[in-house]
Amino acid sequence: MAQPPLVTEDRAFRRTDAPVTELVSSDERGWNITNIDAEGPVVTRQELWSYYLYYNGDNGVGPLGYSLTLFQSLATAAGKDPVTGLGCTDPNSSGQCVLPWAGKQRSVSSVVLIANGLSFMFMTLIFTTIGSAADYGNFGRWLLLVLTLICWGAQFGSIGLVGPDKWGSAMVIYMLGFITYGATLVFYSALFPRLARNTPHSRALRLKLEDGKITPEEYEREESLEKNRISNISTMHSNIGYLFTLAINLSVLLPLAKNPRVDNYTILLTNAYWTITGIWWFIYQQPRPGPKLPPGENYLTIGWKQIWRACRQYKELPYTFVYLFAFFLLADGLNTTGTLVSIVQNDKFSFSFLQNTYLGLAQAATSILSTAGFWYIQRYWKIKTKTMFVVTNIFTVLIPLWGMIGIWTNKIGFHNRWEFWAYNVVFGLFQAPYYAFSQTMMAELAPPGFDNMFFGLFGLSNRASSIIGPNVIQAIINDTGNNWDGFPFLFGLCLAASLVIFFWVDVPKGRRDAIAFAERRRGMTGNPRLDFTGVESGDSTDKTL
């Protein structure tokens, strides 16, 4: 869709009437560069800050943290000890706790993991069915708004969850909030490659390349750093919001410690913070619509067709699909490890919101410092994204390895309170940058103009991948009755994925393949134009996608 010309004195902000489908240009050396005029208005300061503030509020404290603790707490209160027949909260119980689920008696840990597995299954349906559709028109803009409103509604609905008999409702509300929270992260992340391509700095870089003032290699390095800048700053804002949310929650948790609804009030306050910080994105986001939906297509089927066609063309994007596959395994291992550690941690600290808040504060503070530190190191030494990501993956592997040690000894391996403090600090130091660098890697390898489609696949790899992990782990735990028996499987999963990324993902080649893929699939509009070397580029007629 054509955009009106932008009147400005600065050549770096110039724009023609080129439609958004005209996305890339190539020169005779084989370097493909995103078209400077293709993607709408230049990113404003207000828009960028509203983007950061959305993630500041969408920090996961409520739907990912407190809601899980409330659900597990109510489920435990409703459960029975299969050995003694006493309630699970009775001081004379054996420590085992089961609930009736689907005609069977299952442990509470197993039920929690089943809830996670079902949530990831529904996320899979969202990402595969309507993920690609978000690339067309303004559908992506409205999709993020609707998902955000549903998540806000689920979190506000937690106010009525009081008493063991509400554990079923707590499970439903937790799943609804978790599903929509995970989806908001994916479609929010899908916005950042286009934002990064259209900042004043990125626009100026492309004009310098066009004028021959910088080499293609310099352009690629600097544009990659611009992507990392926005990704790292947004991740830092998420952790700042995480820290601030936990801090203000102490104003409820401390004075109302004896109130039976204190946990519900805490979730209410947490969600109110996200509502206040998140609404601005929907006000200041500038229109950058994608192309119109092709004739004869609809939003519910286009996603599956796009994914099927893209997967059939995997040979054109080998590094993109290797990364998606490896990240599928890595995210499955990491997400399920986090859930398993949270289950053990909740048991250790008796489902205390206050203790979890203190632990979260430690994680948030270290996350802010580490994200800023990693970004400073990368910017100062011009380190590649993949190198930074590989460093974080080392600790992704070490966390389940540490838990695995707990199978054979009670001295270490998530058996002591200090280990959970150490876990939250280590998680903050290395896993916060992990999220920033993993999405920057995806932005590097995703074809321009297909951002929602490939970030939908990325979301499938990240959030929805954990259909496998929770179901395998819950089956292991349900059979053995020991939470620690799930760690060996997770260690192997994380190790295998990290090795694949290290040895078989070539980001520079993958980036060029992605831009070339976009050029072939979207094609030109039939209007010849000058590329960056002054050679006219013609019309590509391949419109497979």
Instruction: Summarize the chain as % helix, strand, coil (round to 5).
Output: 70, 5, 25
What is the predicted pLDDT for the residue at 464?
57
> Could you tell me if residue 21 is inside a domain?
no
> Could you tell me if residue 255 is inside a domain?
yes
487 shares a domain with 348: yes
Q: Could you tell me if 538 and 528 are in contact, meaning their C-beta atoms sit under 8 angstroms apart?
A: yes
218 shares a domain with 113: yes
Check: pTM over 0.85? Answer yes or no.
no
> Could you tell me if residue 304 is inside a domain?
no
Per-residue pLDDT of the chain (545 residues; tens, 9 = 90+): 333 333 333 333 333 333 333 344 444 434 444 444 456 799 999 999 999 999 999 999 999 889 999 999 999 999 998 888 888 888 888 778 889 888 888 889 889 988 988 998 898 888 888 887 888 888 889 999 999 999 999 999 999 999 999 999 999 999 999 999 999 998 998 898 889 889 999 999 988 988 889 888 888 888 889 999 999 999 999 999 999 999 999 999 999 999 999 999 999 999 999 999 999 999 999 988 888 888 888 888 888 887 787 788 788 999 999 999 999 999 989 988 998 999 899 888 988 888 989 999 999 999 999 999 999 999 999 899 999 999 999 999 999 999 999 999 999 999 999 999 999 999 999 988 999 999 999 999 999 878 878 887 887 777 655 667 777 888 888 888 788 999 999 999 999 999 999 999 999 999 999 988 888 876 533 333 223 223 333 333 333 33
357 shares a domain with 264: no
133 shares a domain with 265: yes
Other residues' Cβ atoms within 10 Å of the Cβ of residue 99: 19
Q: Please name every residue paired with 25 in a beta bridge, in sequence order, or none if there are none.
A: 33
CA–centroid distance for 177 within its chain? 15
CA distance 453 to 525: 22
Nearest alpha carbon to residue 107 among 477, 484, 489: 477
437 shares a domain with 507: yes
> Could you tell me if residue 523 is inside a domain?
no
How is residue 501 written in tokens? Answer: 């990324």
> Could you tell me if residue 25 is inside a domain?
no
Task: Kindly report, residue by residue over 112-133, the tens digit of the pLDDT.
Answer: 988 988 998 898 888 888 887 8
165 shares a domain with 64: yes
Q: Quote the domain boundaries for residue 101.
A: 45-289
How far lies 459's CA from each of 42, 304, 322, in Å? Answer: 27, 15, 15
357 shares a domain with 252: no
350 shares a domain with 264: no
What is the predicted pLDDT for the residue at 466?
61
351 shares a domain with 264: no
Buried b / exposed e over 229-266, threshold 16 CB at 10 Å, is: bbbbbbbbbbbbbbbbbbeebeebbeeeeeeeebbbbb
What is the predicted pLDDT for the residue at 467?
64
Phi first, then psi, for residue 129 (nearest 5°) are -80, -45
> Could you tell me if residue 16 is inside a domain?
no
* Whole-angstrom Cα Rg for the chain: 24
> Could you tell me if residue 10 is inside a domain?
no
> Could you tell me if residue 543 is inside a domain?
no
Residues 204, 206, 210, 213: is their CA dihedral positive or negative?
A: positive
351 shares a domain with 251: no
CATH number, domain of 97, equals 1.20.1250.20
Helices (H), 412-506: 417-426, 432-445, 451-462, 468-480, 487-504
Number of domains the chain is built from: 2
Task: Kindly report, residue by residue over 249-288, the tens digit of the pLDDT.
Answer: 999 999 999 999 999 999 999 999 999 999 999 999 998 8
318 shares a domain with 461: yes
319 shares a domain with 244: no
What is the predicted pLDDT for the residue at 538?
33
